[in-house]
Structure 1
Amino acid sequence: MNDQMNDDVLDAVIIGGGPAGATAATLLARAGKRVRLFERSSGERFHVGESLMPMTYNTFKRLGMLGKLKASDFVRKYSVQFVTATGKETQPFYFFRRNPHESAVTWQVTRSAFDKMLLENAAESGCEMAYDTQVTDVLFDGERAEGVRVRDADGEVRDVPARVVIDASGQSSIIANRLKLRRPYEYLKQASVWTYFKGAYRPPGIDAGATVILSTEGKRGWFWYIPLADDITSVGAVSTREYLLGGGRKPADAFADLLAECPNLQERLQGAEQADDFRATRDFSYATDRAAGDGWVLIGDAFGFLDPVYSTGVLLALKSGEFAADAIVDGLSKGDLSATQLGGWCDAHRRAIESFRRLVHAFYSYEFSVGRFIRQHPEHRDNLIDLLIGDVYKPGVDDIFAAMGELTPYDGSPPTRDPNSTATVTA
């Protein structure tokens, strides 16, 4: 398939309509490129990952999304708070302590509505949208990607040529699986069980919108606690796959057993009513050996996936979509769609992910607690807030890890298990 001088060839095709794909689609379309996004569903996209990080602000500004977000009923998020395995609550980590700008306040979103907003914004920007259409294969000429094969809702199969294929297909990661690029973090094989409650506890004032991360007694696992609109709170349990879902265990039973080890969460849910069924997913963290090749690039979860404890997923998706779009626009202008051109941003993105991974490693270590670390190293409180904000692309963000290593040494190996406990999560 030769795309030279062929007006029917798209500048780019995008596989998947999550935040990464929608971001790349919007920016490419606004740059005057002909881009088509293929999304296999047409209805609402149900997804966890409701808590945004403040560093999403600049990407939202580029996308023209700030006004829409400000006008939404999404809960405003000013901080993150932790509850230790002993039940002690840390003081909230307020983002505006590091940045008094309005960007220090972000949102707790309902993902179906949020993802829909992003896709509508891409369409308004000029992206061609193809819903109910599944990408079944990526077409290669040698090592160069030259388009995709799709099947629409009527079952019709056709080939769509494009100068660049952007894989935003999430954890299915079509290209990474085909080329065997995925490298799992074996010790981060987790599972999540979650549901929604109406009428759960919310403190007054700006603390009402805080994300709360609650460790269980013995650190067998942890819970997220994310306040959403309409007095709904997302509550999810995370532990090892074996504990939560092993032996055909029912999600409701796993959630109840872990809840029994978290008195603080029990108090927060007193008087609340469960508002949805339990849902479960197997989370596994991984990286990819390569994230770009001649005519193709990976973004979002197709690039890599990291444990959800710090709510990094949407930020990493938005930034990767932004970086990839800029590289493609530049490459199209120069006539260079090589792996080097399309993937020039990937090393910096990997370093950002590694910063988050080191923070995840500390969280799961038996020796570490956020409160203890700040008491011992108050000089690093602002550095920790930088990480919780998502300001991981700037120089010096890793300075905190030398001090953190005093509590939990990091050499890329699994976190240390308490030798006297069989309950401790090893992540």
Structure 2
Amino acid sequence: MDQYDVVVIGGGPAGATAANDLAKAGRKVLLLERGGRIKPCGGAIPPQALKEFELPEDEVLVARARSARMIAPSGRAVDMPIPIGFVGLVDRKDFDEWLRNRAASHGAVRRQGNYLKITRDTDGSAIVHYRETVAATAAEGDVAGQDGLNPVDLPASSGTVERQVRARAVIGADGANSQVAKHCVPGADKMRYVFAYHEIVRTPEGGNTDRCDVYYQGRVSPDFYGWVFPHGDTMSIGVGSEIKGFPLRKATADLRRIAGLDSAELLRCEGAPLPLKPLAKWDNGRDVVLAGDAAGCVAPASGEGIYYALAGGRYAAEAVEAYLASGNAASLALARKRFMKAHGRVFWALGLLQRFWYTSDSRREKFVKLCADPDIQDLTWESYLHKRLVRKKPFAHVRVFFKDVAQLLGLSKA
């Protein structure tokens, strides 16, 4: 049985970043990605992510947004130009693969397959069971010499084979519906979700290529929002809602019509749950730690997940490295501790925003009006682009507070 220092389950931004960091540190890493699935995502990524995670913008970005447009239930639109810089846009189909290839270039072993379970060896070490996908020629029995696999081990009609590897540590980065989390981390089965769906369409001639449009309208989403984000030659059009049974496809079709994109060529569509809140615990106190969506690292209100997945993957890698170096399983808790210290206040503030402003069209109308305020725009872009709460402008915070109160009490004209 092959043995690895770390098995990373899930090859999205969190898993691929963790695998890359650990491989660069000299650890023997297996990166297990199930393949064939692309997460629905607007693809927004701040410049801070490019800098912090050494992402070459010319290679990973498909577009650069210079402004955002907020659209209220009444149709009123408020533009929020970005004063300095841009919001980068990626296509997850290509971006995630770029991250996985980078991890492999630094020594991580890539395998395509589905995680099944974790069992224990006689000495207590983790054994990761997974079903590996093999090439069509392998399904015909031509698999001799591939990692020592004998042709008789593979049913000719399946195209898969079950494998086992031993791991000193495991990182579960297998998405919001994480099986690693459910199998290993208490409380993970209580995760709340927003269900997201989007369609990638070809950008029509003369279409918007440098602005992110966000629709705060109950007919598009009763408790979240809809989006139209540019991806260069393509666009992402999607919606999200926590309400089970909400017709996401119909809402997306409505959004395409509202945005004047109902005749745009459909290239592909994807759907998936997005977590609403970081889990209270990210590790099993032994040898497993979570990262990315599996840990609940999607920002409330905005639904932003790429930057926080990258950050979560790095914190998980640091925690695992500390554990491997010391043998102290308490080190695994560092992943959540460091993430929440860096981003917990932002998640808390955005959670309050979502719970209040997204509950009715009358509140959405007021929220969009607030977005026109220069102080709010300034603080919003400072926080988003640099991934920190702005503390250097206390008087702007005071002004924003009183403007919020005026809206809540109806003292400001809509």
TM category, shorter: 0.7 to 0.9
Deviation digits for residues 107-144 of structure 1 (CA, Å, limit 9, x no counterpart) = 2111111111111111011111112x2221123589x8
Match of 1:39 among 27, 33, 41: 33
Q: Residue 396 and residue 316 in structure 1: after superposition, are their counterparts in 2 closer, same or farther (change >3 A)?
A: farther
CA contact (8 A) 2:191 2:279 kept: no
User: 1-side partners of 2:340 and 2:274: how far apart?
Assistant: 24
**Rounded Cα–Cα distance in structure 2 between residues aligned with 1:33 and 1:394:** 37
The answer to whether the 8 A contact 1:52-1:107 is kept is yes
**Residue range with higher mean Cα deviation, 167-176 or 299-308:** 299-308
Q: Distance in 2 between matches of 1:302 and 1:219?
A: 27
**In the alignment, what sits opposite 2:117?**
137
2:411 corresponds to: none
How far the C-alpha of 1:286 sits from its partner, in A, is 4.4
Q: Does 1:192 align with 2:180?
A: no
- The question of whether the paired residues in 2 share the 8 Å contact of 1:85 and 1:216 is answered with yes
Residue among 377, 385, 390 paired with 1:389: 385
CA distance in 2, matches of 1:397, 1:15: 42
Structure 2 gaps of 5+ residues are 134-153, 155-159, 409-414
Partner of 2:132 in structure 1?
152
Aligned-partner Cα distance in 1 for 2:200–2:219? 23
**Unaligned runs of at least 5 residues, structure 1:** 2-7, 246-250, 410-427
Aligned length: 369
Tell me, yes or no, if the aligned pair for 1:327 and 1:343 is still in contact at 8 Å.
no
Partner of 1:255 in structure 2? 252
Instruction: Please report how far the alpha carbon of residue 288 of structure 1 lies from its aligned counterpart in structure 2 after TM superposition.
Output: 1.7
Alignment of 1:22-421 (within 5 A): 22-41=16-35, 45-49=37-41, 50-61=43-54, 65-66=55-56, 69-71=57-59, 74-94=62-82, 97=83, 100=84, 104-131=85-112, 133-140=113-120, 146-153=126-133, 154=154, 155-178=160-183, 179-182=185-188, 189-192=194-197, 194-199=199-204, 202-203=207-208, 208-216=209-217, 220-221=221-222, 222-230=225-233, 232-239=234-241, 241=243, 244-245=246-247, 253-257=250-254, 263=258, 265-266=259-260, 269=261, 272-276=263-267, 279-281=270-272, 283=274, 285-292=276-283, 293-304=285-296, 306=298, 310-338=302-330, 339-341=332-334, 343-348=336-341, 349-366=343-360, 367-368=363-364, 369-374=366-371, 378-389=374-385, 391-392=387-388, 406=405
Q: CA deviation at 1:88?
A: 1.9
Compared with structure 1, are the counterparts of its residues 85 and 254 closer, same or farther at alpha carbon in structure 2 (3 Å cutoff)? closer
Structure 1 counterpart of 2:67, one-letter code: S
TM-score (structure 1 length as normaliser): 0.73
Contact in 1 for aligned 2:298/2:308 (Cα 8 Å): no
Q: CA deviation at 1:239?
A: 4.2
Contact 2:220-2:255 within 8 A present in 1 as well: no
Whether the aligned pair in 2 keeps the contact of 1:35 and 1:127 (CA below 8 Å) is yes
- Normalised TM-score (structure 2): 0.76
Q: C-alpha offsets along residues 356-383 of structure 1, whole Å, 9 cap, x if unaligned?
A: 32343354143254442255x6434322
Is contact 1:352–1:393 with CA below 8 Å preserved after alignment? yes
User: Cα distance 1:57–1:75, how it changes in 2: closer, same or farther (>3 A)?
Assistant: same
CA 1:275 to 1:212, structure 2 compared with 1: closer, same or farther past 3 Å?
A: same
| Partner SS state of residue 17, structure 1 | coil
TM-aligned CA distance change 1:350 to 1:298, over 3 Å: farther
What letter matches 2:62 in structure 1? F
- Do 1:15 and 1:167's aligned partners in 2 also have CA atoms closer than 8 Å? yes
Q: Over residues 168-223 of structure 1, what are the superposed CA-to-partner deviations in whole Å (9 max), with x where a residue is unaligned? A: 0112212321244237576x6545353424307545xxxx3221102236775432
Do the aligned residues in 1 keep the contact of 2:220 with 2:252 (CA within 8 Å)? no
Within the alignment, does 1:18 sit opposite 2:12 as a pair? yes
Q: For residue 301 of structure 1, what is the amino acid of its counterpart?
A: D
2:157 matched to which residue of 1? none
CA RMSD after TM alignment: 3.6
By how many angstroms is 1:388 displaced? 3.2
Could you tell me which amino acid in structure 2 is paired with residue 157 of structure 1? E
The corresponding residue for 1:423 is none
Report the secondary structure of 2:129's partner residue: strand
Identity over aligned pairs, percent: 23
Equivalent residue, structure 1, for 2:146? none
Check 1:300–1:311 CA distance in 2 against 1; reply closer, same or farther (3 A cut). Answer: same
Q: Distance in 1 between matches of 2:205 and 2:272?
A: 23
User: 1:306-331 CA distances to partner (integer Å, 9 max, x unpaired)?
Assistant: 47862511111000011121222233
